[in-house]
Amino acid sequence: MKHYRQELLFHTKTRRAYINITEQVQAAIDKSGIQEGLCLVNAMHISASVYINDDESGLLHDYETWLEKLAPHAPVSQYKHNDTGEDNADAHLKRQVMGREVVVAVTRGKLDFGPWEQIFYGEFDGRRDKRVLVKIIGE
């Protein structure tokens, strides 16, 4: 069995962002040389997510609106976590809802998706260096 590990780096200009990382993950699979196996992609921070869904601008807007309703960023004083001096309690909650990781089958060297599936990096506390882990195993 072969294995391959790579980190993807992000530094968004905005606090929140939704970035399609499918091409970067496929590029990692290409580098790995693995044809049949599994690909794990996970956010390495507890204020960011990796998830799979449609790359449709209306939907991305809907996530933003929905998550802000569930866990509004402001006022930051509404969260106990922010008593520590941080202001990112909402980002922890948004991350919990949107998930930590995805696992996708690799078949004939390609991500084996269902219709319209794309891999996204969801940033909820950006404007600093963040990492995503890609781990591929197979042969």
> What are 107's strand-pairing partners?
110
Q: Is the dihedral of CA 89, 68, 45, 1 positive or negative?
A: positive
Per CB under 5 A, 12 contacts Zn ion: no
- Closer CB to Zn ion, residue 20 or residue 78? 78
Phi, psi of 104 (to 5 degrees): -125, 135
Pick from 43, 71, 88, 95 the residue near Zn ion by CB under 5 A: 88
- Closer CB to Zn ion, residue 70 or residue 105? 70
CB of 84 to Zn ion, least distance (A): 7
- Closer CB to Zn ion, residue 22 or residue 49? 49
Do the Cβ atoms of 28 and 21 come closer than 8 Å?
A: no
C-alpha to C-alpha distance for 49 and 18, rounded to whole angstroms: 9
CB of 66 to Zn ion, least distance (A): 21
CA 53 vs CA 23, 49, 110: distances in Å: 14, 12, 17
Pick from 64, 86, 101, 117 the residue near Zn ion by CB under 5 A: 86
- Closer CB to Zn ion, residue 48 or residue 136? 48
Give the number of residues in contact with Zn ion, rule: CB under 5 A: 2
CB of 122 to Zn ion, least distance (A): 16
What does the block give as tokens for 14? 């905005």
Residues near Zn ion (CB under 5 A) are 86, 88
